[in-house]
């Protein structure tokens, strides 16, 4: 997990969310009110809000619109979070089952970190490098 | 470990001229988010659910007002797919695929052997490998211990024992507190209306208390706490199955009296229903049994 996670306020815009995700290479950003975790905005939520390719809006207009829509209009109402001591296997199960690109880490309702798919891929690579296991096949989806 | 070990089924593919809505329906039907696009046996692209969603009419009304849904009806896969997708050979090490997925922000790789599509490896597949490796790390074979508790003192011993087992084996511990099902609350069999609301309030309260008690009993150790309701043995067995528990721990009560017989019955029932061994912790003579 990464401490001091990047987070957004509910009143920030879709445009800001999109730029933040691109800048920090994140698939999802926690949404906080004060320091309390209230949601998670995912790249998929932005994709759904994005104008169609068949739009009459120009490039500039698209960005203008995205900058005027608050993220709380697309953030799902319920947020799934884990604790610092949640076993990694449980976190992975959650991420796969709910198709989440990242999981906020919370203490009570306070956001304390973010566990991303990229973090886990790094763990996997390190795991396999350090200790090559027997070639046991394991299932896909 | 090679990525070929992750290919569990023939690849589900689409073609460049397939209408987009058909490809999308296929993804929904098969519960997948990526389709390799094949033209004359060659991989020419990758269609991701995300790309389809970006093309689709906006979910925000004031943006969607400017979208032109009629134009979308004529779209085919080739209009939306990512061209020249990253293709990996089946012998590629999983570690390398994981690094590539992270560094190049790839959600799904096409796996290609001699120009023939062999399958797809997704981030989700890679995370499943990690999950499997982490679970295989438990040398005792105990990955997960389920402690079934009630608010009676005997069941605190079950949690204590489960935590001790967890601490020495590295197994995860889940504490499950089972409440009687609503209709089975003594004295409320035929309750209706306001009675039910009141009973619900009491049950919520009992559930909250139970959670708090479980958390306290867990001390500083990582223990997940859950509250369920329904027939005791069935709930415990079902949860053990869902959690893929390797061991169930229950507290066995004093041998005399009605209570003793009840708990013996729980052990008997669980032994028949449970997907894994059941450990009953006795009160007398148990080493350091109470916490």
| Least Cα separation, residue B186 to chain A (angstroms) | 35
| Least Cα separation, residue A32 to chain B (angstroms) | 22
The residues, any chain, with a CB within 8 Å of residue A78's CB and separated by 6 or more, are none
Per-chain mean pLDDT for chain B: 81
Angle at A114 between CA A123 and CA A126, to 5 degrees: 5
Which tops the pLDDT comparison, A140 or B107? B107
Look at domain B3-134 and name its CATH class: alpha beta
Confidence band, pLDDT 50/70/90 cuts, at residue B170: confident
Which stretch of DSSP H or E encloses residue B179? strand B172-179
How many CB atoms neighbour CB A13 within 10 A? 17
Angle at A135 between CA B140 and CA B134, to 5 degrees: 40
pLDDT of residue B224: 79
Q: Is the ipTM of this complex over 0.90?
A: no
Q: Out of B57-66, B208-217, B228-237, which region has the weakest mean confidence (pLDDT)? A: B208-217
Which stretch of DSSP H or E encloses residue B207? helix B193-218
* B172–A69 C-beta distance less than 8 A: no
Q: Out of A5-14, B226-235, B247-256, which region has the weakest mean confidence (pLDDT)? A: B247-256
Percentage of chain B with pLDDT > 70?
Answer: 75
| Token pair belonging to B97 | 């695929």
Asked whether the predicted pLDDT for residue B287 surpasses 60, the reply is no
| Token pair belonging to B230 | 């329904």
Locate the chain A residue with the closest alpha carbon to B171: A87
pLDDT of residue B122: 94
Q: What is the pLDDT of residues A84-98, one digit of tens each?
A: 888 888 899 899 888
* A95–B54 C-beta distance less than 8 A: no
Residues of B in contact with A58 (CB under 8 A): none
Contact A53, B54 (CB under 8 A): yes
Which residues face A52 on adjacent strands?
none
Of A54, A69, A138, the CB nearest to B5: A138
Residue ranges matching CATH 3.10.580.10 in chain B: 3-134
Which tops the pLDDT comparison, A140 or B165? B165
Of B8, B70, B131, the CB nearest to A93: B131
pLDDT of residue B261: 61
Span B161-167, mean pLDDT? 82
pLDDT of residue B290: 42
Residues of A in contact with B32 (CB under 8 A): 141
Concatenating the DSSP letter of every residue in B211-253 gives HHHHHHHHTTS-EEEEEEES-HHHHHHHHHHHHT-SEEEEE--
| Least Cα separation, residue B101 to chain A (angstroms) | 8
pLDDT of residue B137: 63
Contact B12, B49 (CB under 8 A): no
Distance of CA B2 to the CA centre of its chain: 25
Span B38-55, mean pLDDT? 92
* A139–B8 C-beta distance less than 8 A: yes
Asked whether the predicted pLDDT for residue A70 surpasses 70, the reply is yes
Q: What is the CATH number of domain A2-130?
A: 3.10.580.10
- How many alpha carbons lie under 13 Å from residue B97 in its C-beta half-sphere? 29
Query: Burial code of B151-186, b = ≥16 C-beta within 10 A, e = fewer?
Result: eeebbbbbbbbbbbbbeebebbbbbbbbbeeeeebe
* Measured distance CA(A72)–CA(A49) in Å, rounded: 12
Interface check B138 vs A, CB under 8 A: no
Residues of B in contact with A47 (CB under 8 A): 50, 53-54
Confidence band, pLDDT 50/70/90 cuts, at residue B291: very low
Locate the chain A residue with the closest alpha carbon to B72: A54
pLDDT of residue B71: 78
Confidence band, pLDDT 50/70/90 cuts, at residue B117: very high
Span B72-89, mean pLDDT? 91
| Least Cα separation, residue B265 to chain A (angstroms) | 32
Residues of B in contact with A135 (CB under 8 A): 1-2, 5
* Measured distance CA(B249)–CA(B267) in Å, rounded: 10
B positions 229-268 inside 8 Å of A (CB)? none
Distance of CA A134 to the CA centre of its chain: 33
Confidence band, pLDDT 50/70/90 cuts, at residue A138: very low
Span B117-134, mean pLDDT? 91
Residues of B in contact with A2 (CB under 8 A): none
Confidence band, pLDDT 50/70/90 cuts, at residue B289: very low
Query: Burial code of B72-102, b = ≥16 C-beta within 10 A, e = fewer?
Result: beebbbbebbeeebebbebebbbbebbbbbb
Q: Out of A101-105, A116-120, B115-119, B206-210, which region has the weakest mean confidence (pLDDT)? A: B206-210
Span B244-254, mean pLDDT? 81
pLDDT of residue A109: 87
pLDDT of residue B82: 93
Angle at B66 between CA B63 and CA B70, to 5 degrees: 120
Span B199-204, mean pLDDT? 68
Count residue pairs from A and B with Cβ separation < 8 A.
161
Which tops the pLDDT comparison, B282 or B11? B11
Interface check B162 vs A, CB under 8 A: no
| Token pair belonging to B194 | 């306001």
pLDDT of residue A53: 79
Interface check B172 vs A, CB under 8 A: yes
Which tops the pLDDT comparison, A14 or B262? A14
Residues comprising chain B, all counted: 291
Query: Burial code of B242-274, b = ≥16 C-beta within 10 A, e = fewer?
Result: ebebbbbbbbbbeeeeeeeeebeebbebbeebb
| Least Cα separation, residue A76 to chain B (angstroms) | 13
Residues of B in contact with A127 (CB under 8 A): 130, 133
Asked whether the predicted pLDDT for residue B169 surpasses 80, the reply is no
* A49–B105 C-beta distance less than 8 A: no
pLDDT of residue A52: 87
By the 10 Å C-beta count (0-12 exposed, 13-18 middle, 19+ buried), A65 is classed as buried
Among all chains, which residue has been given the structure tokens 């019955």? Answer: B265
Contact B68, A52 (CB under 8 A): yes
Report which of A87, A130, A83 is spatially closest to residue A108, judged by C-alpha positions. A83
Question: Strand, helix or coil at B148?
Answer: strand
Contact B58, A50 (CB under 8 A): yes
* B56–A52 C-beta distance less than 8 A: yes
Interface check B74 vs A, CB under 8 A: no
Q: What is the pLDDT of residues B130-154, one digit of tens each?
A: 988 887 765 556 788 999 876 555 6
Residues of B in contact with A21 (CB under 8 A): none
Q: What is the pLDDT of residues A25-64, one digit of tens each?
A: 899 999 999 889 999 999 999 999 998 877 888 888 888 8
Topology given in CATH for the domain delimited by B138-281: Rossmann fold (3.40.50)
Residue ranges matching CATH 3.40.50.620 in chain B: 138-281
| Token pair belonging to A69 | 């829509």
Residues of A in contact with B92 (CB under 8 A): none
pLDDT of residue A135: 46
């Amino acid at each position: 997990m990464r401490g001091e996670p990047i987070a957004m306020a509910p009143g920030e815009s879709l445009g800001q969310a999109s730029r933040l995700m691109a800048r920090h290479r994140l698939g999802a950003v926690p949404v906080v009110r004060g320091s309390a975790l209230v949601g998670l905005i995912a790249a998929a939520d932005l994709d759904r809000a994005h104008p169609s390719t068949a739009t009459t809006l120009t490039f500039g207009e698209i960005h203008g619109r995205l900058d005027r829509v608050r993220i709380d209009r697309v953030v799902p109402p319920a947020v799934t979070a884990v604790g610092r001591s949640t076993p990694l296997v449980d976190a992975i199960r959650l991420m796969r089952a709910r198709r989440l690109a990242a999981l906020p880490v919370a203490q009570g309702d306070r956001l304390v970190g973010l566990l991303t798919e990229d973090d886990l891929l790094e763990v996997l690579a390190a795991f396999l490098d350090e200790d090559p296991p027997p070639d046991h096949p394991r299932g896909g989806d | 470990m090679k990525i070929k070990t992750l290919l569990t089924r023939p690849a589900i593919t689409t073609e460049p001229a397939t209408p987009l809505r058909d490809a999308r329906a296929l993804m929904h039907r098969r519960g997948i988010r990526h389709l390799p696009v094949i033209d004359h046996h060659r991989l020419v692209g990758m269609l991701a659910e995300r790309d389809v969603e970006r093309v689709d009419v906006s979910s925000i009304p004031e943006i969607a007002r400017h979208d032109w849904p009629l134009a979308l009806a004529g779209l085919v896969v080739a209009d939306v797919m990512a061209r020249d997708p990253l293709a990996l050979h089946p012998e590629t090490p999983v570690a390398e695929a994981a690094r590539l997925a992270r560094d190049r922000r790839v959600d799904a790789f096409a796996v290609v052997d001699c120009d023939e599509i062999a399958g797809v490896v997704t981030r989700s597949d890679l995370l499943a490998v990690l999950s499997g490796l982490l679970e295989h790390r438990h040398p005792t074979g105990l990955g997960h211990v389920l402690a079934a508790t009630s608010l009676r003192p005997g069941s605190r011993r079950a949690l204590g024992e489960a935590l001790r087992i967890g601490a020495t084996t590295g197994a995860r511990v889940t504490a499950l507190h089972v409440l009687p099902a609503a209709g089975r609350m003594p004295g409320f069999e035929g309750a209706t209306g306001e009675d039910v609301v009141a009973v619900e309030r009491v049950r919520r309260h009992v559930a909250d208390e139970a959670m708090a008690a479980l958390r306290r009993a867990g001390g500083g150790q990582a223990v997940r706490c859950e509250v369920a309701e329904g027939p005791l043995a069935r709930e415990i067995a079902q949860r053990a199955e869902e959690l893929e528990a390797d061991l169930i721990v229950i507290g066995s009560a004093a041998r005399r009296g009605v209570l003793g017989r009840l708990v013996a019955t729980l052990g008997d029932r669980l032994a028949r229903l449970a997907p894994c061994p059941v450990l009953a912790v006795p009160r007398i003579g148990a080493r350091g049994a109470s916490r």
